[in-house]
C-alpha cells in the first residue's frame, strides 16, 4: 500500500509520538499470546479472513504515521494491509522476542501483526469432542497459539484486550460460515480529554508556588538515585541488552483464596500484589547484602486515563496512558509478619493518589519544564521506579472464552522495556478464574537469575499470607 492511499486524521499526540520514537529504537512494543483450542485444526485461510474483517472493524488497526508539512500525522488506511504469517512449531519465547522488537513500517502501516503457531502433535489427533481440564474448563483437542503484536502508539492494554476478544469471535464466525457485518468495535479517540485535564492542572501548578516547589523537590530527589535492582545487579560487559520475560499463573483454587483474602482485608488485588512485590524485593536485596531497617521502594502504576474522562468511554479505542503514577512505600524487613496491615497502608495511599489525579499533576509539571521543540523520550534518564505494575483485572469478558469451534485457554501480554532506564514490569490480569502473571525485565538492570529469584519470592510470600 502506498502512503498516499490513507486519509489524514490528526497530528500525533505527545505520548503517541513518544511511542513512535521508542518503536524506532526497537522497544516499548507489545505482544499478546492467545492459547487456543479448536475442534478441527485451524486453517490459514480462516485466520487470514478473520484478520481481514478485524482490520475493517477496528479503526485503530487501520492507522499509521506519516509526515505532513514537517509534522507527524496519523493516517487511516483505506484498504486492508495485513502482516500475518503461519510459523512452524517453535518456542513462544522466540516469537514473543521477535514481536517485542519488531520494526513496523510506520509510513504505510500496518502497525500491528499476527503470527499463528500450531501444536503439530495435537493436530494429529482425530478426536473432535470437547474435553475437560482438571478445573472443569472446556477445551478442544487441537492446540494453537495466536500472537498479536502492536505498536504501542495505536493501542493500550484495554484496547488490545478488546481486539483479542473480537479476533476470537471473528475466527469462530468465519469457521461457522456466519455473515459478518462491518460494525465498528469502537471509535479511534484522540486524547483530547486527557490534554484538557493536563492543561488545567498545568495552570494550577503555575499559579501555586508551593505546589510547584513540591514537584521540583520530587524531581530533584530522583537525581542520582539507583534502583535496588541496579545496586545488586552486576552486568557482564559482553551481555546483550534485551527484554526477557517470566510467566507464572495461579490455579483457580489458589486464585480464589487470594482474591477472597483481599476482599476480607478490604483492599484490591492490585494493592495486595504491589505490597507483595515490595516485601519480596526487600527479601531479595537483604539476601544480597543490602541491610536496612526500612527500604524506600518506588513503584510505577500504569493508569487508564479514561477513568478521568467524562461520559461513556466504553467505545474509546487507542492509547490512553501517561507515564506511570509513582508511589513510594517504606518497607521493613519483618513486615511479612504484619503483611495485611502493611498492604492496607499501601492501598490507602494508592487510592488517594488515584483520586487526586497525581498522575495528571506529574505530567503537567513535566509539561511546564519541558523545553524541547517536539516530544522526546530520554533513554538515559535515571530509573524513576524500582518496578512498574500493569493490572488489567478480570479480562474474561473482554477476551471471551470462545465459541462453538474455538476456545481460549489462556492469554498473556508482554512489553519490551530494554534500551530504557526501566528495570522490570509486573504484568497481571485474571482470565477464566486464574491469576495470570508476566515479569518483563530489562537485562541492562536485571539478570535472569535475579528475575527468577524475585518472581519465586513473590509467589512464595503470596502463599504464606493467604
Write the CB contacts of 124 (distance below 8 Å, at least 6 apart in sequence).
none
Tell me how far CA of residue 415 lies from CA of 9, 100, 101, 211, in angstroms. Answer: 27, 6, 9, 34
Going by their DSSP bridges, the two strands 316-317 and 187-188 should be labelled as parallel
Q: Which of 249, 253, 299, 265 is nearest to 279 (CA)?
A: 299
- pLDDT tens string, the chain, 466 residues long: the values are 444 578 999 999 989 999 999 999 999 999 999 999 999 999 999 999 999 999 999 999 999 999 999 899 999 998 888 999 999 888 999 999 999 999 999 999 999 999 999 886 654 443 444 445 444 455 688 999 999 999 999 999 999 999 999 999 999 999 999 999 999 999 999 999 999 999 999 999 999 999 999 999 988 888 878 899 989 987 665 678 899 999 999 999 999 999 999 999 999 999 999 999 999 999 999 999 999 999 999 999 999 999 999 999 999 999 999 999 999 999 998 899 999 999 999 999 999 999 999 999 999 998 888 765 555 555 556 678 999 999 999 999 999 999 999 999 999 999 999 998 899 999 999 999 999 999 999 999 999 999 999 999 999 999 999 9
User: What CATH number was assigned to the domain covering residues 192-395+417-465?
Assistant: 3.30.559.30
Q: Could you say which architecture CATH assigns to the domain 3-185?
A: 2-Layer Sandwich (3.30)
Over residues 220-257, the pLDDT tens digits come to 888 878 899 989 987 665 678 899 999 999 999 999 99
Which three three-digit cell numbers place residue 343? 498492604
Gap between the Cα atoms of 108 and 326, Å rounded: 36
Q: Angle at Cα 398 formed by Cα 142 and Cα 247, nearest 5°?
A: 60
The conformational region for residue 142 under phi > 0 = left, psi -120 to 50 = alpha, else beta, is: beta
Domain boundaries, the chain: 3-185, 192-395+417-465
Gap between the Cα atoms of 161 and 429, Å rounded: 11
Write the CB contacts of 180 (distance below 8 Å, at least 6 apart in sequence).
53, 170, 173, 174
Q: How many CB atoms lie within 10 A of CB 194?
A: 22
Which three three-digit cell numbers place residue 192? 483530547
Tell me how far CA of residue 96 lies from CA of 31, 91, 113, 378, in angstroms. Answer: 6, 9, 12, 25
Asked whether this chain's domains 3-185 and 192-395+417-465 adopt the same fold, the reply is: yes
Amino acid at each position: 500500500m502506498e502512503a498516499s492511499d490513507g486519509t489524514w486524521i490528526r497530528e500525533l499526540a505527545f505520548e503517541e509520538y513518544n511511542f513512535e520514537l521508542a518503536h524506532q529504537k526497537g522497544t516499548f512494543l507489545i505482544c499478546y499470546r492467545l492459547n487456543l483450542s479448536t475442534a478441527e485444526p485451524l486453517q490459514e485461510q480462516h485466520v487470514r479472513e478473520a484478520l481481514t474483517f478485524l482490520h475493517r472493524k477496528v479503526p485503530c488497526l487501520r492507522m499509521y504515521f506519516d509526515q505532513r508539512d514537517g509534522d507527524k500525522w496519523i493516517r487511516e488506511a483505506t484498504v486492508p494491509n495485513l502482516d500475518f504469517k503461519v510459523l512452524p512449531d517453535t518456542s513462544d519465547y522466540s516469537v514473543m522476542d521477535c514481536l517485542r522488537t519488531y520494526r513496523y513500517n510506520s509510513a504505510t502501516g500496518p502497525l500491528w501483526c499476527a503470527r499463528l503457531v500450531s501444536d503439530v502433535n495435537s493436530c494429529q489427533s482425530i478426536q473432535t469432542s470437547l474435553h475437560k481440564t482438571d478445573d472443569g474448563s472446556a477445551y478442544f483437542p487441537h492446540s494453537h497459539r495466536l500472537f498479536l503484536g502492536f505498536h504501542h502508539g495505536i493501542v493500550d492494554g484495554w484496547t488490545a484486550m478488546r481486539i483479542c476478544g473480537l479476533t476470537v469471535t471473528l475466527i469462530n464466525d468465519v469457521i461457522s460460515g456466519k455473515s459478518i457485518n462491518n460494525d465498528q468495535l469502537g471509535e479511534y479517540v484522540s486524547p483530547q480529554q486527557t490534554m484538557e485535564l493536563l492543561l488545567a492542572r498545568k495552570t494550577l501548578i503555575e499559579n501555586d508556588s508551593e505546589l510547584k516547589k513540591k514537584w521540583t523537590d520530587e524531581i530533584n530527589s530522583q537525581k542520582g538515585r539507583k534502583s535496588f535492582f541496579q545496586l545488586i545487579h552486576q552486568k557482564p560487559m559482553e551481555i546483550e541488552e534485551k527484554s526477557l520475560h517470566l510467566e507464572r499463573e495461579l490455579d483457580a483454587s489458589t486464585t480464589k483464596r487470594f482474591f477472597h483474602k483481599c476482599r476480607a482485608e478490604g483492599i484490591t488485588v492490585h494493592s495486595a500484589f504491589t505490597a507483595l512485590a515490595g516485601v519480596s524485593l526487600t527479601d531479595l536485596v537483604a539476601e544480597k547484602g543490602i541491610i536496612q531497617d526500612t527500604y524506600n521502594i518506588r513503584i510505577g502504576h500504569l493508569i487508564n486515563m479514561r477513568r478521568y474522562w467524562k461520559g461513556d468511554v466504553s467505545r474509546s479505542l487507542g492509547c490512553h496512558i501517561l507515564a506511570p503514577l509513582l508511589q513510594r512505600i517504606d518497607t521493613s524487613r519483618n513486615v511479612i509478619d504484619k503483611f495485611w496491615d502493611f498492604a492496607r497502608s499501601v492501598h490507602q495511599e494508592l487510592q488517594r493518589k488515584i483520586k487526586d489525579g497525581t498522575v495528571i499533576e506529574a505530567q503537567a509539571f513535566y509539561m511546564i519544564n519541558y523545553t524541547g521543540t517536539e516530544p522526546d523520550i530520554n533513554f538515559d534518564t535515571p530509573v524513576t521506579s524500582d518496578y512498574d505494575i500493569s493490572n488489567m483485572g478480570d479480562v474474561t469478558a473482554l477476551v471471551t472464552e470462545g465459541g462453538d469451534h474455538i476456545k481460549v485457554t489462556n492469554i498473556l501480554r508482554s512489553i519490551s522495556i530494554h534500551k530504557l532506564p526501566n528495570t522490570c514490569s509486573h504484568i497481571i490480569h485474571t482470565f477464566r478464574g486464574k491469576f495470570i502473571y508476566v515479569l518483563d525485565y530489562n537485562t541492562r538492570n536485571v539478570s535472569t537469575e535475579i528475575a527468577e529469584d524475585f518472581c519465586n519470592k513473590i509467589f512464595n510470600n503470596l502463599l504464606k499470607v493467604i
